[in-house]
Amino acid sequence: MKSEFTNNDRQPVVAESDHSSALFQPLNLRGLTLPNRIVVSPMCQYSASDGCATDWHLLHFGSMMTSGAGLFIIEATAVDPRGRITPECLGLWNDDNEEALRNVLSRVRKYSQVPVGIQLSHAGRKAASHRPFVGKGPLKSDQGAWPVIGPSAIPFADGWQMPHAMSRADMDEVVNVFAQAAKRADRLGVDLIELHAAHGYLLSAFLSPLANQRSDEYGGSLEYRMRFPLEVFSAVRAVWPEHKPLGVRANGTDWHPQGLQTEDAVIFATELRKLGCDFVDMSTGGNAYTKVPIGPGYQVPFAEAVRQGSGLTTVAVGLIQSPRQAENIVASGQADLVAVGRALLNNPHWPWQAAEELGCSVEVPWQYFRAATKAGVPPPYVR
């Protein structure tokens, strides 16, 4: 079923260069132009019903898509029911999921021209968990838990399910559901895909020696551990339109001496680039419980290292809170884009504030224009 909103149906985003700020420079990714370098980071809302978007997603998408950011990425979206982090996670594995997401996007699209991405994900051995603020850790069998899969029969931590070590047939099935979800995303008119290979979820677990202790051609050396994630990427790239960007969220480190290291992340990004990857969104951790030195911009050095080592466009993320901090990250060449999450939840008009502080302008919905700062400009369709 064709979406009523596609790239050809929408008015193009007008990206005007403002040479006074690196953060408000446009960026081209294949056939997509982002009007600025601010990305709404994919943030799980744990509010879906059987994988289907709900009215909460209408509220959330509307808030984030009228924020003035240059790109909105939909939360981690499971490609298979087994791949949900929690029972309440968003999904894109069947027609009902697709139609529910189409409904939300079509309604918000009437009021926002911002490019939309989606993060496709499979939670692997960390699936079947409680959603935040309701419980903690894995679900029990009497709480609706389902069997989980992973590269090896190694649970994430004590008390977590023992995952089924994936066979070649299991891997083929996962490759297929990622590709099918990508086709659905294209039918929805989504502009960009980010594959989730961070935080200890399935693709991340294959990359990490903490989770992947296979003795076949998919385990052991980094070359072998990368093989399955690269297969998934290639399958999605093959069905995703040539003019649309495809990227990966990856770990820059596992924060563990026996885990994935930054030099591994650089090699992985370099191999992704050879296969047609357009960007990497650099995160960290999630393959083991370990101490993480969390602080403003704590993951930015990994984005910088991968950008320099692979030449790929990179997204920096990790408690980026102030406009000046974001500006410095882009202006100094540490990353090409900054993904903002919690700061945008706290202040959905954070890009307006950033534009004002940096002497730039950003589009503001005409309904809010009376309250906009001097940085606000009305959208193209009311000029």
Q: Is 201 designated active site?
A: yes
Which backbone phi and psi does 337 adopt, to 5 degrees? -140, 160
Measure the CA–CA gap between 349 and 88, rounded to whole angstroms.
Answer: 27
Tokens of residue 322, six digits:
């102030």
* 283, burial (CB in 10 Å: exposed 0-12, middle 13-18, buried 19+): buried
Q: Which one of 46, 201, 298, 368 is the catalytic residue?
A: 201
| Distance, CA of 56 to CA of 89 (rounded, Å) | 12
**Integer angstrom CA distances of residue 59 from 90, 108, 274, 303, 344:** 15, 9, 39, 31, 14
Half-sphere exposure of 325 (CA within 13 A, CB side): 18
Strand partners, 340: 40
Rounded distance between C-alpha atoms, residue 5 and residue 102, angstroms: 9
Interior/surface letters 143-153, b for 16+ CB within 10 angstroms, e for the rest: eebeebbbbbe
> Per-residue DSSP letters for 238-257?
HHS-TTS-EEEEEES--SST
Contact indicator for 312, 245 with CB cutoff of 8 Å: no
Q: How far is Cα 137 from Cα 158, in angstroms, rounded to an integer?
A: 10
Catalytic positions, please? 201
